[in-house]
Structure 1
Amino acid sequence: MSMEHTCSVVSFGGGVNSTAMLVGLEERGEPPDHILFADTGGEKPETYDHLERMQSWLRSKGFPKITTVREGNGLEDDCIARDTLPGKAFGFGSCSERFKIRPQRRWAKQLGHENVVWLVGIHFGERKRAERTLNQRNDVSFPLIDWRWDQEDCVEAIRCGGIPVPVKSACFFCPAMKKREVIQLSKDNPSLFARAVEMEDAALESGKITTVKGLGRSWSWRSLVAADASQLKLFDDTQSPICDTCIDW
């Protein structure tokens, strides 16, 4: 009796680690059977651009194309429909479980893949994070840890592969974003920031949210950026042009 083939599936998040993992697999001549991207519907525009760029790169290497899967209408629409915030705002990991892991598992089940090993991009410096996953699941592999690649190794591998280093993969309204990242988003992409604040406002105004102050959990994105703008008004000369005699040539 022949043993059932183990199907290898890359869980591609669109960031540095999963991109480096694909580069490493290509270097070793170990193409996976499938590559999946779980689209939350709220990824950064740069991530979607990177996804298309990687499709071309994979095609040039004879690797499988990236298959996109999704849970319902996406996390943003789900939060708006229920007047709530992403689970991470409340300290839960339900965002990843429902909108990342679940649609990938469903895809594998629908295709009849019962014996699957999921290749996940967690690098050597995040070994403890990987250990927590292995304590709960035995169908996951971490190639970057096997190769002892840390974050710097991942970045170098991507550059050597001729691929632009991608931005951090996360929803543009992720509650895990730092304050400086939220302020930067409001400046770089005000339309996305507005959508995030619309979600925050709707959840808070519904009266259903009583345990957190906003997307920042203990602070709201709207208040943060408003306070930042108020601070800038105290310094009228901050937008003055730089005197070219001060430029360090």
Structure 2
Amino acid sequence: MTARNLAVPDAGPALRLLSLGAGVQSTTVLLLACEGEIPRFDVALFADTGWEPRAVYANLDRLTAHAATKGIPVRRVSAGNIRADALDPKHRFVSMPLHTLNPDGSRGLARRQCTSEYKIIPLKKAARELLSYPHPRRVPRGVYAEQAIGISLDEITRAKDSGVRFLHNVFPLLDLGFDRARCVEFLAERGFGHTVKSACVGCPFHGNAGWRWIRDNDPDGWTEAVEFDHAIRHGYPHATKQGQELRGQYFLHRSCQPLDQVDLDTPGKSKRHLRLITAQAAHDEDGDPDGCSPWSCRSGEPATGAETEEQAA
């Protein structure tokens, strides 16, 4: 057997990181670390798309101050502002999963690249830098960071590995048997009872309850979403400028209607719940699917070129 084939002994993680979305589950994980219930993190990383609800940024600021008193720094990483980039004719085309109305009347969903571009890649880049092996330096075999992900017991099917050797995902809430309801209770007991789900204001995966919450609680965000919805009706400016044929029309709402014309108040048939922490919203109808966690993406997309390159390193 050659040395190349010998297994490298696991010396343990060089760093302990938290992928912080500042939503219900990841906020719970950070507070558990602050209280010493789980191992302390060296850094909590927040991948900022630039278009989260104001309530999420407020919670992030509060968490940053609280975690600092426990010796856990919270660091924001970003690949840009997803809303501004999408509307910029000069910016590279990055697809969001917009709802499409085709010329024949059929409906579809555009390809989803935004989670990879604005969350996964910045988090991987930050992890490499913290390990002192920024791209394109190869991370030595056996050197890795342990990365905690806020997946609760009711979302166990969403728990996935990172797909790269230098990041090992762990799931503290699963180990502790926390479901979302327990997270809600835990946060309420600690004065974080107004934590909301972390997802971009203009995420096409919002259900009626999600859009209604933005309309009623984040008026500036609602205005931005309505303007964005109108702006992307015939595709992204960069794509059309480059001569890419984008047939049909594009919408933020799943009904393929202009966002400001959708009836968001009439109860729908869906039994999904808006994942807010407030008791009155807990039974809201026609809510959202699970949040946009970079490490539990539902889209099933293949890795981008940048990710594939990192996986080989």
Larger CA deviation: 119-128 vs 176-185: 176-185
Comparing 78-87 and 212-221, the one that deviates more: 78-87
Residue 71 of structure 2 is matched in structure 1 by: 63
Write the distance in 1 (CA, Å) between the matches of 2:201 and 2:155: 23
CA contact (8 A) 2:50 2:83 kept: yes
| 1:47 Cα deviation from its structure 2 partner | 0.5
Higher helix proportion = 1
Unmatched tracts of structure 2, length 5 or more: 1-8, 99-108, 134-138, 267-313
Amino acid at match of 1:147: L
Which residue, 223, 239, 251 being the options, matches 1:214?
251
Match of 1:47 among 42, 45, 56: 56
State the 1:5 CA deviation: 4.6
After superposition, the C-alpha distances for 1:188-242 in whole angstroms (9 at most, x for unaligned) are 43432222222222222456643554012441343xx32549x9xxxxxxxxxxx
Tell me, yes or no, if the aligned pair for 2:68 and 2:74 is still in contact at 8 Å.
Answer: no
Pick closer, same or farther for the CA change 1:59–1:191 going to 2, 3 Å. Answer: closer
Q: Give CA-to-partner distance per residue, 1:73-103, whole Å, 9 cap, x none.
A: 2211121115978522235442221111110
Task: Work out whether 1:142 is the aligned partner of 2:171.
Answer: yes
Q: TM-score, normalised to structure 2's length?
A: 0.63
Question: Which range moved further: 4-13 or 101-110?
Answer: 4-13
1:77 corresponds, among 72, 79, 84, to 84
C-alpha distance in structure 2 between counterparts of 1:118 and 1:5, whole Å: 9
> Aligned-residue CA RMSD in angstroms?
2.9
Q: Using a 3 Å threshold, how does the CA distance of structure 1 residues 152 and 20 change in structure 2: closer, same or farther?
A: same
Residue of structure 2 in register with 1:128 after alignment = 157
Q: Which runs of 5+ in 1 are unaligned?
A: 232-249
For residues 24 and 91 of structure 1, do their structure 2 counterparts lie closer, same or farther at Cα, with a shift above 3 Å needed?
farther
Q: Which residue of 2 aligns with 1:6?
A: 14
Equivalent position amino acid for 2:197 in 1: K
Q: Please give the residue correspondences for 1:100-115 in structure 2 after superposition, counting only pairs within 5 Å.
A: 100-111=119-130, 112=132, 114=139, 115=144
Q: What percentage of residue pairs aligned between the two structures are identical?
A: 25
**When the two structures are superposed, what TM-score results if normalisation uses the length of structure 1?**
0.78
C-alpha separation between the residues in 2 aligned to 1:34 and 1:4? Answer: 17
Paired residues for 1:157-236 under 5 Å: 157-205=186-234, 209-210=246-247, 213-222=250-259, 225-228=260-263
